Structure 1
Amino acid sequence: QAGSSEIIQRTIENWYINNEFLPDEIFLPTEPEDLEYITDWLKKKFKSQVNISIPQIGEKRKLIEMTNSNAELILQDHISALESREKIISKAVLSLQRDLHLNKAPVRMECFDNSHIQGSDLVSSLVVFENGKPKKSDYRKFKNETVNRNDDFATMKEVVMRRYTRLLSEKSQLPDLIVIDGGKGQLSAAWEVLNELQIQNKITIIGLAKRLEEIFFPEKSDSLILPKSSSSLRLLQQIRDEAHRFAITYHRKLREKRIIHTQIEEIPGIGKKKSENLIKHFGSVKQIRQANFEQLKEIVSEKDANQILDYFKNNAD
C-alpha cells in the first residue's frame, strides 16, 4: 500500500496535469514523497512559481484539518457505495449470462489487451474479474518479443497461447468467459488457440470492438449490440477498460525504465549489466547522481565510480 506522502504526490500530479490554474500557495497535510520534484514539475508546467507549505498551527492548519474531515466523509460515502454495489454486481453477471445466451453465469472473466504505443515495448495485459469485480492478484502482464510489432493478431495469439497452456499444465481454473479487446481479427486469433488446445467447448469467448461497442462471437458474421444502458455492456466495458489501463501502465513503466537505463549507459564503461545493478541498488538516477565515491564503489569498480562522478559533474542538469 502507498504511504501518505506518496498518495499526496500522486494526488497533486493527477489534479494539476489537466488543470489550467495554479494558485500562489498550496497547503498540504504532510510533505509529498519528492517535494523538490513536484515544485519543479509545477514550475515547468505553469511557468510560474508556487509556494508549497505544510502548516502546523493557525488558520491554515485549521483549513487543512477541515479538508481532512471532508475527505473522510467522502471516503465513507465511497465505501458505502461500494458495499451496495456488491449486490448490483452479481445481477450484472446474471444479465450478461442472459444477454450472451450462456449456459452458466460468467463468474470468472478474463480480458486481454495489447499495447504498442509508437511501435515500442510491445506488451499485453490480462485482467481477471470474479463475480463482476476485479481480482487484481490474478492480473498478468506479457512482454511480447517473438512476433512482428505491427501484427496485432499474432500478438493476441501468442499471449492467449501462453496463458492457457500454462493454466492447463498447472491444472488451474479456466475462466467462464474470455473477453478480447478487439474485433473479428483479434477474436479469430484467440479462437484458433482455444481450438489448438482443445478447450473451445469449455470456455466462451467474445470480442468487444470499441468503436460501436459491438460484441463478436467466433465463426459468426453477425455482431450483437447491447443498449448503452445495459448492465451487461457496462460490465464488459469495465473489464475491457481495466485491461487497457493495466496494459498502458505496464507499457509506461517499461518505457520509463528504458529511458533511465539509456541515460546511465551513456556513461563511458557502463553497459547494460552495470546499469541494471546500479538502478537495482540505488533505485533511481537521482540517487545515483547523489551517491559519493565510496557508495558507488560498493557496486562498481573504482574506475567506473570515477567515470560516474565525472559524468554527473559535467552534466549537472
Structure 2
Amino acid sequence: MVVSKNIKLSEKIKSVPGKPGVYMMKDISSSVLYVGKALNLRNRIKSYFSAPKSLPLKIQHLIKNVHDFDLIFTSTEQEALILENNMIKWHQPKFNARLKDDKSYPFIKINLSEEFPQIYFTRKIKKDGSRYFGPFASAKSVRNTLTLLKKLFPYRSCTKEITGIDSKPCLDFHIKQCMGPCIGNIDQNDYLEIINEVILFLEGNTAKVSNSIMSKMKTASKNLEFEKAAIFRNQLESIELIKEKQKVIQHENSNFDSIAITSIEKTSWIEIFFIRQGKLIGEDHFTMHNGFDSETNLILKAFIMQFYEINPYIPPEILIQTEIQDMESIQNWLSQKKDSNVSIKIPLRGNKLKILNMSLENSKQRASIESTTKKFTTKDTTKMLKKLQEILNLPRFPKRIECYDISNISGTNSVASMSVFNNGNPSPHSYRKFKIKSVQGINDYAMIKEVLERRFKSISQKPGEITPESQNQQQLSEIPDLVLIDGGKGHLSTAVQVFLELGINNVPLASIAKQNEEIFIPNFSEPVEFSSNPESLNILQKIRDEAHRFAINYHRKLRSKTALFSSIDTIPGIGPKKRKSILNKFGSIKNINKSSIEEITKIPGISEKLAKQLLSISKNMQ
C-alpha cells in the first residue's frame, strides 16, 4: 500500500528517530512480514515508502502488504544484529531468508550432571551443564552418529538408575558395548574417562582419543587384564579405520568450517565441511528459504547468524565464498560467543580455497538434483490436484487442504487434530491440535462440531461471505480450499451443519471413510468415483493419515500425563503441590525416565527417597 492511503502509517514514519535498531513490518492482522536492522532507522524506513515504485518488484510486493511497523531501539549496530537474528527466529517472517524449520534441528546431548552420564538425541538446548553437539541437518544424521559412537565406546544406553548392585547386566554388557556400571563392573572415574573420549571424538580430536585408549590398553596388559586389553585393542582398531577414511586436507592441525551456498529461485542449498585437526571429519547440508533476499551475501549472512546461534561449537575460522554484510559485527558476535577470536575469511589460494571449492561443488550438485526433482514432483502434484478439483467439482484449485481427525479411547482424553497440505505437500508448521472441552464420553459428531466451530467461528461473516480482509484478521490466516473430515456420511453432515450455522458456504467439504477408503461430498449419497484417478485419491489418503498420526501422538501424550498423574498419587509424601511441581517440570513418563535422581531432587520438597520411588514407578509404566 502507498503511504498516502494510510494516514496513521504516514505520520508514524515521520516520527521515527535516526537511531540504530530493528524494525518489523506487519500486515493487517499484525503478523510480522519482514524483520530488518539499520544504523539509522529513520532513513531505512523512509527508503521503503518515499518512492515505492522505484524499488525492486520483490520489495514493492512486501510494501503493498505492510499495514504497520514496530521498532526496537538498540545502543549499537552489533546489538541490532543479534536482535534481528532473534526476531527472525521467533517470528519466522515469510519475506526473510531463514533456515527451513530451524526451530527443530537435532543435537547430541551428553548429560554431565549425572554420575554415569547418558548420551541422548535431543532437539532442545538447555543451560543444564550438559555438552551439546550439532545442529545436525536431520534426525537420521544424529542416529547414524549415535550408532557409530555405540560401536566405538562402551557407554551405557539404558535409562535405569545406576546402583552398582544390580544382579544381572543387560545384553550390551555381554556384547562388549557397555562396561556394566549397573553391576559395579566399572567405577565412576573410569566411566567418565570413556565419556571424555566420546567428547574428544565428537570434537574431531581422534588423535587424543587413540592415545588415551592406547595408554589404557598397555596398562591393562601390564596388569595381566588381557580381556580388558582386548576390548581396548578392538576399540583402537575401529577408531584407526575411521581415521583412515577421514581425508587429510591440511598438513597443519587447523580447525575451521567451510561454508558454500548455491541459490536457485527462492531456495538456497548450504554445504558445510567440518575440518578438525587438519582432517575433514564430516559434512552437513541445509536448505534456506530466501524470502526476498536473492543476493548470496545476504543469504549467507542469515545462515551464519542462524546456524551459529544454535551451534554449541564455533571454530576459530570460518571460510566463505564472498564478503557478507556486517562481517566485522558478525565476527565480534561469534568471538563473544566463543570467548576467543573467530575470523571469517575468503580464501584466494592454496588448500583452503580447494576445500571451499569442494564445498561449493557439493552445494551445486545438491541444488541441481533437488531442484530438478522438485520441479518434476511439483508438476506431477499440480496435475493430480487439478484432477482432484475436477472430480470433486471444487470452485478453485485446492492449494490448501485441511483434514480433521478425532482420537479417544472409551471417551477419555479426547483430542482432535488438523493436518494441512499446501500444494500437495505436508505443512507441519500449520498443523493444530485441539483438546476437546465440551463433550463427555464417545460422541465423534459432537467433537467434530466443537473443533470446526473453534477453527472457523472467528472467520464467519454474514451468510455466504468470506472476504480477503477476514482472512487477514483471523489467527489461522489462510482459508482452506478444501476441508476433509476423517469419517463417513454422518461426520460430513455434521460439518455441513456447522458451516451452515456459521454462514460459510464457499469452503468445500468432503469426508473420507476408513473402511473402504470412500470419499463423500455434500448432497450426494454415493461415494465419489476415483477408480480412473487413484493418484488424486492418494493425496486425500496421505493428508488423512497425517491427521490421524498427529491426533494419536497428542492423545498418547495426554494419556501418559494422566497415567503419571494417577501414579504419583500412590506415592506417600507427595501431595497436590508436589505433584503439580513434578508435572510442570517433566510432563511425561518418558521425561522422568530420562532424568537422574539429582535432577528430580531439585524440585522443592522432593527427597532422594521420593525421587527413587518416582523413578521406579515411571520405569514400570514404560
TM-score range, shorter chain: 0.7 to 0.9
| CA apart distance, 1:115 | 0.8
Do 2:150 and 2:177's aligned partners in 1 also have CA atoms closer than 8 Å?
Answer: no
Match of 2:147 in 1: 28
Match of 2:387 in 1: 95
- SS of the equivalent of 1:121 reads strand
Aligned length: 290
Tell me: CA distance 1:100–1:279, structure 2 relative to 1, closer, same or farther (3 Å).
same
Distance in 2 between residues matched to 1:314 and 1:176, nearest whole Å: 50
Do 2:402 and 2:421's aligned partners in 1 also have CA atoms closer than 8 Å?
Answer: yes
The question of 1:266 aligning with 2:570 is answered yes
The question of 1:104 aligning with 2:408 is answered no
Structure number with bigger Rg: 2
| Structure 2 residue corresponding to 1:204, chosen from 487, 508, 515 | 508
Match of 1:173 in 2: 478
Q: Spell out the pairing of 1:135-154 with structure 2 (5 A cutoff).
A: 135-154=427-446
Greater relative contact order (CA < 8 Å, ≥ 6 in sequence):
1
**1:98 partner letter:** E
| CA apart distance, 1:204 | 0.4
Greater strand percent: which structure? Answer: 2
Tell me: CA distance 1:237–1:228, structure 2 relative to 1, closer, same or farther (3 Å).
farther
The question of 1:308 aligning with 2:610 is answered yes
Match of 1:187 in 2: 492
| CA apart distance, 1:307 | 6.4
| CA apart distance, 1:150 | 1.3
Match of 1:159 in 2: 451
- SS of the equivalent of 1:112 reads strand
TM-score normalized with structure 2 length: 0.40
Gaps of 5+ in 2: 1-103, 109-120, 122-138, 161-167, 179-197, 199-234, 248-281, 284-361, 461-469
Q: Spell out the pairing of 1:178-257 with structure 2 (5 A cutoff).
A: 178-199=483-504, 201-227=505-531, 230-257=534-561
Distance in 1 between residues matched to 2:171 and 2:565, nearest whole Å: 29
Match of 1:280 in 2: 584
Do 1:267 and 1:307's aligned partners in 2 also have CA atoms closer than 8 Å?
Answer: no
- SS of the equivalent of 1:227 reads coil
Match of 2:424 in 1: 132
| CA apart distance, 1:11 | 5.8
Greater helix percent: which structure? Answer: 1
| CA apart distance, 1:96 | 0.8
Distance in 1 between residues matched to 2:592 and 2:147, nearest whole Å: 27
| CA apart distance, 1:126 | 0.4
Query: Percent of pairs identical after alignment?
Result: 33
Tell me: CA distance 1:44–1:306, structure 2 relative to 1, closer, same or farther (3 Å).
closer
* RMSD (Å), alpha carbons: 4.2
Match of 2:239 in 1: 57
| Structure 1 residue corresponding to 2:377, chosen from 85, 92, 101 | 85
Gaps of 5+ in 1: 13-26
| CA apart distance, 1:83 | 5.7
**1:174 partner letter:** I
- SS of the equivalent of 1:35 reads coil
Deviations 1:222-274 (A, max 9, x none): 22131275221011111111101111111111122223333333323424553
Distance in 2 between residues matched to 1:45 and 1:191, nearest whole Å: 57
Distance in 1 between residues matched to 2:486 and 2:580, nearest whole Å: 34
| CA apart distance, 1:308 | 2.0
| CA apart distance, 1:133 | 1.4
Distance in 1 between residues matched to 2:156 and 2:448, nearest whole Å: 39
Deviations 1:62-100 (A, max 9, x none): 7999xx99xxx9xx7888755642332222211111111
- SS of the equivalent of 2:458 reads helix
TM-score normalized with structure 1 length: 0.74
The question of 1:3 aligning with 2:106 is answered yes
- SS of the equivalent of 2:384 reads helix
Deviations 1:79-127 (A, max 9, x none): 8755642332222211111111112111111100011135431111001
- SS of the equivalent of 1:28 reads helix
